[in-house]
Amino acid sequence: MTILLLLIPVALLLGLAGIWGFLWAISAGQFDDLNAAGNRILFDDADALLREGRKHETR
């Protein structure tokens, strides 16, 4: 029963840390553009092709 005196504050602190992290991510703009990372794989990276010395193919 005395372990609850330790576990309840620890659980509250972890919950508050999670809420703080979520609010920080929102204010830092982490959720502003959710589609860019998923769409990035669909397009060629022209800079990488130029560094390899190949011409960029137009499609």
Q: What is the pLDDT of residues 1-59, one digit of tens each?
A: 899 999 999 999 999 999 999 999 999 998 888 887 777 777 776 666 666 665 555 55
Q: Is the pTM of the predicted complex or chain greater than 0.85?
A: no
Nearest residue to 44 via CA among 33, 54, 30, 34 = 54
Asked if residue 11 belongs to a domain, the reply is yes
Asked if residue 59 belongs to a domain, the reply is no
> What is the tally of structural domains in the chain?
1
Residue ranges making up the domain that contains 45: 4-51
pLDDT digits (tens, 9 = 90+) for 19-29: 999 999 999 99
Asked if residue 26 belongs to a domain, the reply is yes
Asked if residue 30 belongs to a domain, the reply is yes
- Residue 16 Cα distances to 3, 7, 11, 27, 28, angstroms: 20, 14, 9, 16, 18
- Please tell me the distance from the alpha carbon of residue 1 to that of residue 22, in angstroms, as a whole number: 32
Asked if residue 58 belongs to a domain, the reply is no
Amino acid identity, position 57: E
Asked if residue 57 belongs to a domain, the reply is no
